[in-house]
A = this chain, B = another copy of it.
């Protein structure tokens, strides 16, 4: 089997894939999150994509992939995120810092404390380490594995703003796999019309069925400004199948899958 994931080697997605892959499973590195969705669909394999971070919020490209493809969610994983400041230079010599924009946001307090530096955004945490290795007087905000990969000394560990920094990842597959007792389900509400009180009517159905929403996130419907779809995750303790039927009576919905929370062994 193959596990598709956002590359290059040294990203958080890649670190997670290494932890959860089966012994005989190969990792396929994709260059964008969109490509992970395409690979999963075309090759009937499973993939891993980040969906939200406790500091930086939702990952738009993953929500769009769930909306636009037939991939289904088959598990979720919570991974603690640690950012490292790596460089071959001393703090006094550093003039340029390479960082992925999301890592910039997650480590902005530390980065703001550095004086007289320029920040250059890159396409991945691994790319940041690669660029810092090549350029003079530069440093990277990166992962432990990417710093190791590019042989870049760690100047400071855990530079993330919050020590509770966690990213939630989803496992996606091309087919529906309904586990025996799922922990959670995900749906997208796709309003057929833009009428006042629609969202209230939807949440009423959840409340009356005693079903707990764990997350709601709006995304542009891409039909013009002010038009949205709503991604909702909910717990599956009781009667959720009937509730989904009731929802379908008042709004368009797309079912994204019901799944288990899998814990990571250190």
Which residues of A are at the interface with B, using a C-beta cutoff of 8 A? 34, 52-58, 60-61, 78, 101, 105, 108, 112, 119-123, 161-162, 164, 166, 168, 196-197, 199-200, 203-204, 206-207, 210, 212-220, 222-228
**Structural contact, A57 and B123, CB atoms closer than 8 A:** no
A196 to chain B, nearest CB (A): 4
Contact partners of A200 in chain B: CB under 8 A: 200, 203-204, 206-207
Assembly CA distance A168 to B207 (angstroms): 33
**Structural contact, B34 and A225, CB atoms closer than 8 A:** no
**Structural contact, A119 and B108, CB atoms closer than 8 A:** no
Given A105-B61, A225-B78, verify A220-B121 contact (CB < 8 Å). Answer: no
Contact partners of A213 in chain B: CB under 8 A: 196, 199
Copies of this chain assembled into the complex: 2
Given A120-B123, A216-B218, verify A224-B60 contact (CB < 8 Å). Answer: no
**Structural contact, B108 and A54, CB atoms closer than 8 A:** no
5 pairs across A/B with beta carbons < 8 Å? A166-B225, A197-B207, A200-B204, A215-B228, A217-B218
Assembly CA distance A200 to B204 (angstroms): 6
A193 to chain B, nearest CB (A): 14
Most buried by B among A120, A215, A228: A228
**Structural contact, B199 and A203, CB atoms closer than 8 A:** yes
**Structural contact, B122 and A164, CB atoms closer than 8 A:** no
Q: Which of B122, B123, B204, B225 contacts A54 (CB 8 A)?
A: B225
Assembly CA distance A52 to B225 (angstroms): 9
Closest to A121 in B: B123
A167 to chain B, nearest CB (A): 8
Assembly CA distance A53 to B196 (angstroms): 21
**Structural contact, B219 and A60, CB atoms closer than 8 A:** no
A77 to chain B, nearest CB (A): 12
A99 to chain B, nearest CB (A): 10
**Structural contact, B55 and A162, CB atoms closer than 8 A:** no
Q: Which of B57, B121, B214, B215 contacts A121 (CB 8 A)?
A: B121
**Structural contact, B222 and A162, CB atoms closer than 8 A:** yes
Most buried by B among A168, A197, A223: A197
